[in-house]
Structures are given as structure tokens and as C-alpha cells.
Amino acid sequence: MSDTLTKLTYQTFQQGKNYFGLAHKTLSTRLLNFISPVEQQTKPIPTEVLPKLQQRLDNLLEIDWQDAERGVYPTSLLFDNPWQDFFQYYPVVCLDLFQMWERAKQKRYQDFPPNVETSAYPSYYVQNFHHQTDGYLSDLSANLYDLQVEILFGGTADPMRRRILAPLKEGLKFFADTSTQQVRILDVACGTGRTLKMIRAALPQASLFGTDLSPAYLRKANELLSQIPGELPQLLQANAEELPYLDNYFHAVTSVFLFHELPAGVRQRVIEQCYRVTKPGGVFIICDSIQMSDSPEMEPLMENFHEIYHEPYYKHYMTDDLVERLEKAGFENVKVQVHFMSKYLIAHKPV
Ligand SMILES: C[S@@+](CC[C@H](N)C(=O)[O-])C[C@H]1O[C@@H](n2cnc3c(N)ncnc32)[C@H](O)[C@@H]1O
């Protein structure tokens, strides 16, 4: 396929996923409201925000394409979706909406069936984030998560995750001449493993490590990564507040969509742990939601996200100074980027 055709296919495909996500959200909310009405204090979205949103989406897809074109990752990654899971679990996601809706209506935010073990986890974690059935603590939740996120972000979750790859490769250049060891990269709160799969595509020789608190999500990540020929996923269940690795062990550390789900103090402790395990000269990259400081015009969307989905720490996150937190931990030369609805903090550990 010619480049122009591939690019067009990619953009059309992404716009299709965006419309699908929008249609799914609109129809399901109307249907659920019809069956069992709920009052939500959402902020109206000013009309001028919508074209800005579309512009940000177009920019995201353009840079996603350009990064593939200039070889940051293979073009095939742009089309990598867990289709089998999506088709298999779409009916379950739809059926689960009724439970999620009722849970949201009744403000049941720590709703776990007796067969889900919750006692071994910090209390801030034992939550139905996004009103998700079983929180992060069951195989059902792990199986539905990628599709739920795909719908929530209108198909842009992976393009947003991929924005860590260019700064990651750039950051690793520091070790190109000095290190004879194989490069080690840790993804903190790796969830179902999508980011690790992308890092593998971009850096075929690196040793990859992943941690998460959820055994179910790690099982799912293991299933995904084991499909890659020759891959031996090194996944560990761990609280990011106490990473089970030696000091200065990793050439790079990444974390995607974690920090908005942590209370403020925990955010700082996790950053300090990431600092501890990063090698001097290494890079730490956070990808998470946009914040007020970089996207004040998106405030109604951020407020609505906090209101509609159960995200207990998001309100504080919206105005938290992550650069200050990174510098407090010892990182320097912190660069900030924004792509669509995510921001990126690229921090360096001094040599
Ligand atoms: C929104 S999900 C993001 C998952 C994944 N990084 C992604 O891109 O989809 C948040 C993840 O953080 C994990 N998590 C939350 N608090 C944690 C903690 N204190 N230590 C380790 N993992 C944690 C959850 O289990 C979940 O997998």
C-alpha cells in the first residue's frame, strides 16, 4: 500500500472508532436514562470547545502517523487492536452498563462481591474507578478494560499511549555510548500491557518489565505479551509506592494513566520510587490526563469526567503541580507535552 493510502486508511479508521465511541456513549446514556433516570450535575460544553477538540484529535493522529513514518515505531502498530477481545466482550460491556449505572446512581463506590479479595490492597485503591464492576480486581474487569477505555476515549487511548515512545527513544540515547548492558525499561501500573507491547515494537532489543497492583490485570498483560514470539514478560505484582527493584536499575521508567487515580501523597511517593529505580541519566515519562494549567479551555470536560465517572482523586489531580513533585524527588530538565486529552512529563535523573 502506498504511504498516502496507508495514512488515509489510518485516519479514516480512527475517525470511525471515534464516531463509534461517541454513538455508543450517547445511545447507552439515553437508553439508561430512559429506563432509570439519574440527575447529573454536568457542565455544558461551550460550542467553541468542540472544534478545538476536533483540532486536537486531528493533531494527535497526524503526529501518530509522522512518528511511524520517521521510524519511531513500525506503521503496523497504528493498526494493532485486540479485535478478538473487542468483538468477544462488546456484548458483556453493554450488559454490564446496567450494573454500572445502578452503582453510579446509588453512589456505591466500593462495591465488591464476596469472591473478590480486597483486604490486601490500600484503601484508596479499593474503589470502583469509572464505576467499573469489581474495580481492578477481577478477570472480568481485566477483560473489559481495554474496550471500555477504547469507547471512553473514542479510539484514541493507543495513539495517546504511543506519544511516550518518541521521548523514550530520545531519552535512551544518553546511554548509547556509555552502556554496554541491555537497556532495561519498567512500565509502572502496566495494566493489561498495551504500553509494554508498544515499547516492544519500538525497541525490539530492550528488556521490558511491568508492575501493577492487580493480579487480574497482570494475567491479562501476560496473555497479551506472550503472543509476541520470543517475548518473556517480566511482570510483578507490586504497589508502585514500594517498587521491588534495586536502586538505579532502569534506563527508563514509564507510567501511563496512573497518577490521576492516586491520592496526592501517594503520587509523590510513587514519583520518589520511580526516581530511586531510574539510573542516573535515565528518563522517567508520565502520560496522564491533561490538567488545568495546560488546557484551561477544557475545564468543562475535566469537570464532567470527574462528575460522571467515579474518579475520587481527579479533582485534586486537575490542579496538582506534577513538575514540582518531580523536581522535589530530584528529577531535572522536566519537559511537558500535550496531545489531545493527555499530557506528558518527561523528566531526567541527574548524572
Ligand atoms: C487507568 S489504569 C492504567 C493502566 C495502563 N497503564 C493503561 O495504560 O491502560 C490504572 C492502573 O493502575 C494500577 N494501579 C493503581 N494504583 C496502583 C498502585 N498503587 N500500584 C500499582 N498499580 C496501581 C491499576 O491496577 C490499573 O491497572
pLDDT for the residue numbered 178 = 66
Please give the Cα distance from 192 to 156 (Å, whole number): 16
pLDDT for the residue numbered 29 = 84
pLDDT for the residue numbered 35 = 83
* Residue 255 covered by a domain: yes
pLDDT for the residue numbered 180 = 65
For a pocket test of ligand 1, which of 258, 262, 277 has the largest count of ligand atoms closer than 8 A to its C-beta? 258
Query: Does ligand 1 lie within 6 Å of residue 148's CB atom?
Result: no
Query: In ligand 1, which atom is closest to the CA atom of 146?
Result: 9
| Number of folded domains that form the chain | 1
191 Cα–ligand 1 center, Å: 5
Query: Does ligand 1 lie within 6 Å of residue 191's CB atom?
Result: yes
* Residue 250 covered by a domain: yes
Query: Does ligand 1 lie within 6 Å of residue 190's CB atom?
Result: yes
**Nearest-CA residue for atom 27 of ligand 1:** 191
Query: In ligand 1, which atom is closest to the CA atom of 125?
Result: 16
* Residue 278 covered by a domain: yes
* Residue 193 covered by a domain: yes
pLDDT for the residue numbered 107 = 87
Q: What is the DSSP letter of 164?
A: T
Query: Does ligand 1 lie within 6 Å of residue 136's CB atom?
Result: yes
Containing H/E element for 295?
none
Query: In ligand 1, which atom is closest to the CA atom of 262?
Result: 16
Per-residue pLDDT of the chain (351 residues; tens, 9 = 90+): 688 899 999 999 999 999 999 999 889 888 888 887 777 777 788 888 899 999 999 999 999 999 999 999 999 999 999 999 999 999 999 999 999 988 988 889 999 999 999 999 999 999 999 999 999 999 999 999 999 999 999 999 999 999 999 999 999 999 987 666 789 999 999 999 999 999 999 999 999 999 999 999 999 999 999 999 999 889 999 999 999 999 999 999 999 999 999 999 999 999 999 999 999 999 999 999 999 999 999 998 998 888 788 899 999 999 999 999 999 999 999 999 999 999 999 999 999
Expressed in angstroms, the distance from the first to the final Cα of the chain is: 45
pLDDT for the residue numbered 70 = 97
| CATH of residue 285 | 3.40.50.150
pLDDT for the residue numbered 283 = 98
Q: Rounded to the nearest 5°, which phi and psi values hold at 335? A: -105, 145
Containing H/E element for 349?
none
Query: Does ligand 1 lie within 6 Å of residue 217's CB atom?
Result: yes
Containing H/E element for 173?
none
* Residue 231 covered by a domain: yes
pLDDT for the residue numbered 30 = 85
Q: How far is CA 22 from CA 15, 98, 156, 171, 306, in A?
A: 10, 18, 12, 36, 18
Please give the Cα distance from 338 to 322 (Å, whole number): 14
Query: In ligand 1, which atom is closest to the CA atom of 239?
Result: 20
**Neighbour-count burial of 72, counting CB atoms closer than 10 A to its CB (0-12 exposed, 13-18 middle, 19+ buried):** buried
pLDDT for the residue numbered 276 = 98
* Residue 301 covered by a domain: yes
Query: Does ligand 1 lie within 6 Å of residue 239's CB atom?
Result: yes
Helices 139-152 and 83-105 cross at an angle (nearest 10°) of 90
* Residue 267 covered by a domain: yes
Owning domain of residue 245 = 157-348
